Structure 1
Amino acid sequence: MVAVARILLDSPLPQLDRLFDYAVPGALDADAQPGVRVKVPLRSAGRMIEGWVIERAEVEPGGRPLSEVASVVSPVPVLPASLYALARRVADRAAGSASDILRLAVPKRMVRAEKAWLAADPPGTPQVDPDAVTRAHELASPYPGLADAVLSGERVAIDAPPHPTPGALRGAWADLLASLAALVLDSGRSALLVVPDHRDQTQLLDALTTLLPGEAVVRDDARRSGPERYATYLRMLSPTPCIVVGNRSTVYAPAHDVGAVFVWDDGDTLLAEPLSPGVHARDAALVRQEEEHSALVFAGHTRTTDVERLVQLGWVREIPASRRVSPRVVLSATHEAEYRGARVPSAAFGAAREALQHGPVLVQVARPGYSPVLVCAECRTPARCRHCSGPLRARRPGATPDCGWCGRSAPNWTCANCAGTRFRMASSGSERTADELGRAFPGIRVIVADGDHPVASVDGRPALVIATRGAEPAAEGGYRAVILLDGDKMLMAEQLRIGESCLRWWSNAAALAAPGSAVHLVGVTGPVARALATWTHAAYARAELADRAPLLMPPTVRVAAVEGAAASVDRALAELRETVPDLAPLSVLGPVPTDDGARALVRVDYAHGRAVAEQLRASVVADAVRGRRRGPGPRTTLRVRLDVPELDL
């Protein structure tokens, strides 16, 4: 009998996404155990490649000798069987490679961090103070049955309380999720808290410090150094429970005996993984819950159509609060006697003036910069760069405009339509809005918060905070008024989910207001405005689903994007129709020509999702093998991405 290790190679090549048998030399037999990193020869490439040992077995010697494991990178098993099983299922659902998922989940080895971890004493079992448990039950009590549902492993959706925590720079939602995580830890199991960005993470960590000892909470995010991330990963592998707070890759964290996964604000695009195979944290959490039978909680100030679809199917249970709490939203519009082009109507202007006597006021705008859009002063044609045709912008009054794409300045610009030489500012960014409102409210502090000027928090003194969507800082005690500008421009974006996105941006900003403070939505009417004013986000999501279902729009169906050489795309679509013959005739849109070949969209109901994913993955592998046989040289490889959120050919 020959000792064999079945190894998953760490390679992006789709044809290598399977287990390979390698003989284990006697000298490596003790270390080459399941879960460890190894180096093995790859005959087809004539080089060494890293991989993970997935299984060990004893087999009869065959006719052709097996290649041997070259070395063990580290004897520490960093890939538990449960994580490999999760990566395999998630990759299969997305027609991707398991190694791509593991590359996101398992950080690179850091030798010093590993040696320090092995030399240190193992972490002890965290103890939750009884007073903290009582406090956690109190924080969760506004949602009857929620704590029991989490501890019993249910899938639930909740609308988070839309107000700040009194006396703290965090939202009440952070206290709610922290209390539920503390109850899970008190039951002897781990909890994962998945959030979009570092500001949400900071609020959760702040809330957890009021309930738990520091050693019970693990911070996991890409902003930490390599050694810190690897040491954190080794801590999660320890057989003691903990609470992990991090961004989208935290959904794969190999914490001990996970009892609950919490996903905050799943509509945020930061939770959508841009790297292959592009699995959203929400979908990975659903797969993990089904695999491990842990609780799963979707929480947010709004309800995405993806979660609402699961609620309508009965797969996720909605748990409402016993007492409905919502911000005081006012739909502001210009009056007949006012100038129609005024950005801030008199009602919102008066509310800001009064609120500034007591504390800060938040003004949300659509774009950063001074004037992100310039047009010809004569014919109103958008001003474009002569080099790349990108949009020209003004960074400050009187400055020479530059291109938003290539960055080149345009000192001698002329209009391509009328040969005019004068610009006109067609929009106001965060800096221009700050300039205008600063003149309207002399003597008041003006703070700009956007991508170029990040601000985490502001104090409770009077100030005008001009922030772009998603960059709003927390305010001590909450904002005394919130004014939402440029809503009509936000809704003009040609995106399927733009109404859903705008409702989320506005709701997250409204949740920063102090209880009882007014939130003015300027210049917007229709279903989105009514949903914000009445705080009925679930009803809006249901209406969106009803409108999209007859049109076969996501998320009522799954959508796969197939890209590559035109012949490869045609071949993949033909094989798909042959393998899944009961696909509807209108399921395939395209293919249409692109710069590097062709692109097609495949719309499929969830019942056929697995079969479609398997066949498209088979087409990707076949195309990769076919391209390799053609020899060296440039070639286009077939690419597949499932669950794309937009129908964009």
Structure 2
Amino acid sequence: MAPTGESPEQLTLLRETVRRSRTKAPADITDTLPIARVAVDVSLPHLDRAFDYLVPEDLAATAQPGARVKVRFAGKDLDGFILERLAETEHAGKLARIRKVVSPEQVLTPEVADLCRAVADRYAGVLADVTRLAVPPRLAKVEAEALRCNQPTRPVESTSRDEWSPYPHAEGFLDAVRRTEAPRAIWTAIPGADWALAFAQAAAVCASTGRGALLLAPDARDLERLAKACTTVLGPDGFVTLSADLGPTPRYRAFISALRGCTRVVIGTRAAAFAPVTDLGLVALWDDGDDSYAEPRAPYPHAREVLLLRAHRQKCAALLGGFARSAETAALLESGWANELIADRAVTRAAAPAVHIAGESDRDLARDPGARAARLPHQAFEVAREGLKTGPVLVQVPRAGYLPSLVCQTCRTPSRCTTCGGSLRRTGSSGPASCTVCGRPAADHRCPECGDTRMRAAVVGARRTAEELGRAFPGVVVRTSGGDSMLDEIPGDPALVVTTPGAEPVAENGYAAALLLDTWLLLARPDLRAPEEAVRRWFNAAAMVRSAREGGKVIMVGEPSAMPLQAVVRWSPEGYATRELEERRTARLAPAAKLAELVGSADAVADLITRVRDLVDPTAGLEVLGPVDVDEETVRAVVRTPRAYTLARVLKEALAARGTKKLPGPLRVQVDPATFG
């Protein structure tokens, strides 16, 4: 009830007067660079651009490029990063003010911001999604710490390069790094090479010039090996480790340490590809074909491509190394973008183990007629028994549980679609097999190798293999590595080590022998990259075996005429990669062509394909494969164009048009996916 003598209108006026008296007057806008261009955290393609905001006087000192801010956007307070400060704006309307500077720490450096924009454009993504990958969540307590910078007062004058001595052109590459030039190289390591120590030595050469280095390893185990090598070469304070596995606080502390220039060298997994290394002089990545480098979050960038973009834009040296070679690195060499670091053939053969395929010779077949059909032929038993006299024996068994795929019932050759080359699968108990890429039925499929029309599923079990070997070699220690139980290192004592691909522990003084079983199963994965991936796995495992002069032997159980197996026998990763690239070119697959995978509801995928067709030049050679049903609510299609065509830009425009109209339906676009099949 209103007090006596005051009307409701008077009370309303009184309340408004009190409210205004308690409200702080807005600060004036600063006269110095009053406009802040902000990347707002919005993951909508049609809003993927920077927005201008006014900078209040009381925030002018802290609202610097790279700082986190809060801004008003679409009626909500959203996070963002200041990209730059400007004197004027091109926006004709009224500008809102920056509401708050969350932290004065300039966490998004100009170089990384430019890289994030390039990565978003490369993968038809949104800048906000990339900055989430590049900048870890803020921890105020870490920013408040006075981090101790352990930079040496003077650069190291010289460093050992002994791990690079087998490669004739390595000295020239390292000298170019020392001269602060920007050489680019593809390094094919000899068997048994200590790649981690070689990376550390290259980083030391770069650090001696006062510039920074960024080294990436595929997983936590390899990262630990790299950290040990860097500790040996650079000292415990000469580098910092940046990995998502560290946990929020250690990771952010490492990020801030790199940001503030407290260390010249940063090592990490794919999460470190965007690390804010000061004055970057070298980026290096080991085993680029490992699928761990493929980011599972939008826009799904690959760490290799991120580093290559970074090397190009920041004009720094680039080094991609591995025991095997991917088709992508072969394409880089072919284009002249990078040079080759490889040992002389005689040096490579001297370091390699003796590699044989079970049943490849008439003599082997005479001794064991079932050598080519048996899962563990007599020859493999003999090699294992002989190897156990001097050290551990590695037994690699493909992991069970791959996506459904079919192989020939007789010769186990992977069953492929005769139209596009995709893997065949069955979606039910009845009906013909169909292609996982184009969806065409394969009712009349016939194996191109033996002519059999029957197909079977590809399944195997690693645990059962360990049990069988334990019974076959009584009294011998049997160790397993894979899944949730991974071994990092093992002693050099005789033992059978059964592992899944990629889980091989390092053996002291190397393995005496290795058995690579069920090679056909790795080749049968429902992925067009399966042969390349299988070869990479086999080279990585065989490289852990002692050289032939030390008695090291590798037995591969599979089809002797298969080119992937023959590449390992000849120890020719470069030759196989060149052949693979040529086959990709013939089949119009990445990296010889540009392709994108579209996954979503049937209506959304169909609408996006229509929009892409309308935007693409009719002479560009656009091709659409599918759609193919993934499940009851989801379909998948593939669009591809020649490599030189800007497919990502077209996809981005089509997605932006859908976003503007707010069309329904989930949709995922992945450019150059790491797996395809």
Query: What's the TM-score once normalised by structure 1's chain length?
Result: 0.84
**Pairing partner for 1:48 from 55, 73, 77:** 77
The secondary structure found in structure 1 opposite 2:547 is: strand
1:125 aligns with 2:161: no
The corresponding residue for 2:55 is 24
> Which amino acid in the other structure matches residue 33 of structure 1?
Q
> Which amino acid in the other structure matches residue 168 of structure 2?
P
5+ residue gaps, structure 1, are 164-170, 374-388, 392-424, 629-634
The corresponding residue for 1:282 is 304
1:12 aligns with 2:43: yes
Q: Work out whether residues 363 and 483 of structure 1, in 8 Å CA contact, stay in contact via their aligned partners in 2.
A: yes
> Which amino acid in the other structure matches residue 139 of structure 1?
E
**Pairing partner for 2:169 from 141, 145, 149:** 145
The corresponding residue for 1:419 is none
CA distance in 2, matches of 1:5, 1:501: 47
1:523 aligns with 2:558: yes
1:330 aligns with 2:356: yes
CA distance in 2, matches of 1:450, 1:390: 31
CA distance in 2, matches of 1:255, 1:550: 40
CA distance in 1, matches of 2:90, 2:219: 52
The corresponding residue for 1:627 is 662
The secondary structure found in structure 1 opposite 2:503 is: coil
**Pairing partner for 2:382 from 339, 344, 350:** 350
CA distance in 1, matches of 2:558, 2:608: 47
Most deviating of 436-445 and 2-11:
2-11
1:617 deviation in Å?
A: 0.6
1:34 deviation in Å?
A: 1.0
**Pairing partner for 2:144 from 115, 123, 133:** 115
CA distance in 1, matches of 2:620, 2:66: 43
1:413-468 Cα shifts (integer Å, max 9, x gaps): xxxxxxxxxxxx99652221111111111111110111032111111111111101
1:129 deviation in Å?
A: 5.2
The corresponding residue for 1:191 is 213
What does 1:46-85 correspond to in 2, within 5 Å?
46-59=75-88, 64-85=93-114
1:330 deviation in Å?
A: 1.6
1:336 deviation in Å?
A: 4.4
1:52 deviation in Å?
A: 0.4
> Which amino acid in the other structure matches residue 83 of structure 1?
V
The corresponding residue for 1:554 is 590
The corresponding residue for 1:100 is 129
Q: Work out whether residues 368 and 451 of structure 1, in 8 Å CA contact, stay in contact via their aligned partners in 2.
A: no
1:251 aligns with 2:273: yes
CA distance in 1, matches of 2:256, 2:379: 56
CA distance in 1, matches of 2:209, 2:673: 38
CA distance in 1, matches of 2:91, 2:322: 57
Most deviating of 353-362 and 325-334:
325-334
CA distance in 1, matches of 2:288, 2:465: 30
1:123 deviation in Å?
A: 3.9
The corresponding residue for 1:412 is none
CA distance in 2, matches of 1:499, 1:478: 26
1:257 deviation in Å?
A: 1.0
The corresponding residue for 1:305 is 327
CA distance in 2, matches of 1:271, 1:522: 29
Q: Work out whether residues 159 and 201 of structure 2, in 8 Å CA contact, stay in contact via their aligned partners in 1.
A: no
CA distance in 1, matches of 2:661, 2:150: 51
Is the alpha carbon distance of 1:253 and 1:173 closer, same or farther for their aligned partners in structure 2, counting shifts above 3 Å?
same
CA distance in 1, matches of 2:459, 2:109: 53
Is the alpha carbon distance of 1:390 and 1:446 closer, same or farther for their aligned partners in structure 2, counting shifts above 3 Å?
farther
1:515 deviation in Å?
A: 2.6
1:33 aligns with 2:64: yes
Identity %: 37
CA distance in 1, matches of 2:559, 2:628: 36
Structure 1 or 2, whichever has the larger Rg, is 2
1:577 deviation in Å?
A: 3.3
The secondary structure found in structure 2 opposite 1:513 is: coil
The secondary structure found in structure 1 opposite 2:512 is: strand
The corresponding residue for 2:529 is 497
Q: Work out whether residues 240 and 263 of structure 2, in 8 Å CA contact, stay in contact via their aligned partners in 1.
A: no
**Pairing partner for 1:478 from 498, 502, 510:** 510
Q: Work out whether residues 400 and 459 of structure 2, in 8 Å CA contact, stay in contact via their aligned partners in 1.
A: no
CA distance in 2, matches of 1:426, 1:101: 37
1:58 deviation in Å?
A: 2.9
1:600 aligns with 2:647: no
1:141 deviation in Å?
A: 2.2
> Which amino acid in the other structure matches residue 217 of structure 2?
V
The corresponding residue for 1:631 is none
1:231 aligns with 2:253: yes
1:16-36 Cα shifts (integer Å, max 9, x gaps): 321111222222121111110
1:616 deviation in Å?
A: 1.2
5+ residue gaps, structure 2, are 1-28, 406-426, 430-456
Is the alpha carbon distance of 1:510 and 1:190 closer, same or farther for their aligned partners in structure 2, counting shifts above 3 Å?
same
Is the alpha carbon distance of 1:88 and 1:134 closer, same or farther for their aligned partners in structure 2, counting shifts above 3 Å?
closer
1:327 deviation in Å?
A: 2.6
What does 1:446-595 correspond to in 2, within 5 Å?
446-516=478-548, 517-525=552-560, 526-585=562-621, 587-592=623-628, 595=632
The secondary structure found in structure 2 opposite 1:210 is: helix
CA distance in 2, matches of 1:65, 1:76: 28
1:497-540 Cα shifts (integer Å, max 9, x gaps): 11111111111111111233111111232211110011111111
CA distance in 1, matches of 2:86, 2:60: 12
1:76 deviation in Å?
A: 1.0
Query: What's the TM-score once normalised by structure 2's chain length?
Result: 0.80
